[in-house]
Amino acid sequence: MQEDSKKSKECFASKEKSYSSESSPTDPPDITWILTILCFLIIIIHFIASFFPKGRIRGINQWAYFPSWITFPVTFLALLFFLPSFNRFFLNTIKTLITPLLGWMRKKKHLCYLIFSLLFFILFWLLRTKTHFLGDGYQILSNVESHQLAIKWTEFLEYFLHLKAFLLAKNLFNPDAETVYALLSCLAGSIFVFLSFLFADFLGKNGAQKILVFMILISMGSIQLFFGYVEHYTFLFLSIFGFLFLSIAYLVENPALGGKGNHKDSSRMKLIFPLLTFLLAFLFHVSALCLLPSLFFLFLITNEKSKPSWCFAFRRGKRLLLGILALFLVVIIFLGYRRYSWSVPPLFVPLAHDRYSGPGYTLFSLPHLLDLFNQQLLVSPVGLILILAFLICLVVSLSNLKKGRSFFMNRTSQFLLIVSLSQLLFNFLMDPALGASRDWDLFSAVGLGYTILGLYLLLEFSKDKLKFEYLTTILVVTSLYSTIPWIALNSCKPKTIERFRNLLLIDPKKSQNGHFVLFKYFKALGQEEEAEKENQVQREVLPELVLLAEGKKFLAKGELDSAEAKFLLAKEIAPGLASIYSDLGTVYSTKKQLNKAEIEYKEAIKLASFVADPYFNLGNLYLIKGDMDGALKLYKKAVFLKIQYPEAYYNLGHIYYLKHMLDKAEDLFIETLKLKSDFEDAYLGLGNIYKEEGKFQKAIEMYQTAIQLKPDLANAHLQLGITYLQINSKEEAIKELETFLELAPQSKNAEEVRNILQKLRP
């Protein structure tokens, strides 16, 4: 038993020779001093940033929202832990207090993990966020309550889970959407805490190491997701953590990969678990695809001493299948993007050119690089410190290449390095809607990879017990100093609103939707003065939107010249705003200046190809011109983009009908009626289809419904009369045809109908 226990404790040790605690001229510098200096700097930077709440240092300025009588003492206390004497006194006191608890936990550790996880649920609930301005929370709640939230393929399982939970809870105790989201968020947090206990127990070889791993994981800034957070990234974060946990377990327990597993074949079977967890993460959110390189690494590695070999991999059946599937996936993504790229909003930060929503915000611009840096400081300051410290050691130790390489020689380090680089590349390239000023949650899991990598390296190369305990204390203190104000200010409404307003002012154009959300929030609470204050801010920082709104009012009243003047002035101020061109096109279309309207609509599409309205408007224009094929292509794009105008579906269906593509026309007429149940022309269109298919009774029903909705719909009477003729109902036919003549005596079909009636009458 003792031998098994010893093996279990050593299961995470690398086969490579670790650095000796005795230094030599070629050894890397002492990691303790590097980490101590970096942690000290992080706390000082946090403190300094607290004097600049409106700057771009938003990832580290959370203390700015608390009074100085709190900030100064807390900062002083945090810095005291850097004194070895105070640090040792604190550790000895803690050891004395928790030794009995640790003894009990060792006997029933899983029960203890469960109890603590439930206690954390209470903590998450009590400190849950009181507003939902981070991400798209406020809009999500509005859409859920109004039953307008539809499942998106990009976040299929997140949407599905939250919607089903909401519907189930409605039947049981009728809560609001906010409560349902908060419960799921806190529940996910409890599961994360439980998994963190298991992971710390697995990764750490002694009590100090386990405490460090657990405390760093549960004090990451990303845990804001578990404080009643309303968005669709909570379970994504949880599943990514599960993927990393299971992947590391697979690598550690597989003897062929450098692990200490007892049976080669049984441990290899565990590869299915990280694979399934990756698929689960992908179903939660498509952004989990950034983990694909690390998943391929798991499949392609062979043994500890050899590098991943593509040639060797492709000789084996399973790896050959994986290669084919990977290639197939890449081809499908490429072809799909090539065909539908126009429908995809800008996914990446632009390399060089500016956008209206982010002037000056390009890939290598200072605002973007600062946002990237802020994001890491927000979600995992300690992870950043650990990686930076080891990079310094690596650079210094390059004089001894063997020792320099040994930082990342084993498979676990390599796997975590791939995860870290993939996630950071994703964070660097992807463009959040507001330049990362609010949408931090899209990248909330990015810190997991390099944080776990940093912890793993620290555990591997720190051999001095006293130094490690000292490091544990200052790392945990630094992490808590960074995260506690972030959690606290989000649990307080006034502080959240104050910070949110400051964030909106960083990038006013990127944050235009945020101003609107804040305006709606104050309106809903009846705080008219605050709502008007937000309106005033919009007028000052976004004058083009004010002009656009005024122009729309004139357009609705039919005052076309006034509307045109407002739109032209707005275009001068913001030439990159697509909606201006779309509305200006509508002005020209209404004035019958079709060529000018076409130019404006095409420019709107060029600026925002993923917006449906310009396609619909230009399709209407082509329909007026008689260009059926051009209109068909544009209506198809508008419908593909889920436009909510029933006319778009009807017009597209009508064109398909004229082209005798009856099945497609029928589907579109039905979709039209889902959007507008009293759309009489859609019933008329369905009647025409059923008549051509010989389904006369169904056709009669459709025509009658159209007539009930609009009794003077002449064409419906005409088609109903013809249908009655086809089933030999002469009296009904005569009645409907006579009604048609009364309603449309000058119609092009009138003379033909008169001839038919003359033959029918006795």
Q: Tens of pLDDT along 57-99?
A: 878 889 999 999 999 999 999 999 999 999 999 988 888 877 7
**pLDDT given for residue 566 in this prediction:** 94
Could you tell me the two tokens for 442? Answer: 């899209």
Domains annotated for the chain, with CATH where assigned, are: 2-498 (no CATH), 645-762 (1.25.40.10)
Q: Is 747 helix (H, G, I), strand (E, B) or coil?
A: coil
Task: Tell me how far apart the alpha carbons of residues 324 and 318 are, in angstroms, rounded to a whole number.
Answer: 10
**pLDDT given for residue 323 in this prediction:** 66
- Find out whether 588 and 597 touch, Cβ atoms under 8 Å: yes
- Find out whether 438 and 135 touch, Cβ atoms under 8 Å: yes
**pLDDT given for residue 24 in this prediction:** 37
Cβ-proximal residues to 45 (8 Å cutoff; 6+ apart), any chain: 60
Task: Tell me how far apart the alpha carbons of residues 636 and 619 are, in angstroms, rounded to a whole number.
Answer: 9
**pLDDT given for residue 171 in this prediction:** 86
| Cα-based distances in Å from 67 to 42, 131, 760 | 20, 21, 92
Task: Tell me how far apart the alpha carbons of residues 295 and 268 are, in angstroms, rounded to a whole number.
Answer: 14
Q: Is 358 helix (H, G, I), strand (E, B) or coil?
A: strand
Give strand pairing partners of 355: 358
- Find out whether 231 and 134 touch, Cβ atoms under 8 Å: yes
Give strand pairing partners of 348: 430
Burial status of residue 602 (CB atoms within 10 A of its CB: 0-12, 13-18, 19 or more): middle
Phi, psi of 364 (to 5 degrees): -105, 20
106-163: pLDDT as tens digits: 778 888 899 999 999 999 999 999 888 877 788 888 888 877 777 777 888 999 999 9
Task: Tell me how far apart the alpha carbons of residues 224 and 97 are, in angstroms, rounded to a whole number.
Answer: 29
Q: Which amino acid is at 469?
A: E
Task: Tell me how far apart the alpha carbons of residues 652 and 669 are, in angstroms, rounded to a whole number.
Answer: 9
Q: Which amino acid is at 65?
A: Y
- pLDDT lower than 70: segments of the chain: 1-29, 101-105, 254-269, 302-323, 396-409, 433-438, 762
- Find out whether 405 and 337 touch, Cβ atoms under 8 Å: no
Could you tell me the two tokens for 207? Answer: 């009590």
Query: Residue 449's Cα: distance from chain center in Å?
Result: 18
Q: Which amino acid is at 232?
A: H
Dihedral class, residue 28 (left if φ above 0, else alpha if ψ from -120 to 50, else beta): beta
- Find out whether 281 and 288 touch, Cβ atoms under 8 Å: yes
Cβ-proximal residues to 277 (8 Å cutoff; 6+ apart), any chain: 239, 242, 243, 246
**pLDDT given for residue 407 in this prediction:** 59
Task: Tell me how far apart the alpha carbons of residues 47 and 36 are, in angstroms, rounded to a whole number.
Answer: 17
Give strand pairing partners of 697: none
Q: Mean pLDDT across the chain, nearest whole number?
A: 84
**E strand or H helix at 270, and its extent?**
none
Q: Is 230 helix (H, G, I), strand (E, B) or coil?
A: coil
Task: Tell me how far apart the alpha carbons of residues 506 and 367 are, in angstroms, rounded to a whole number.
Answer: 9
Q: What angle do CA 204, 451, 410 make, to 5 degrees?
A: 65
**pLDDT given for residue 253 in this prediction:** 76
Count Cα atoms within 13 angstroms, Cβ side, for 479.
28
Give me the count of residues in the chain.
762
**pLDDT given for residue 47 in this prediction:** 93
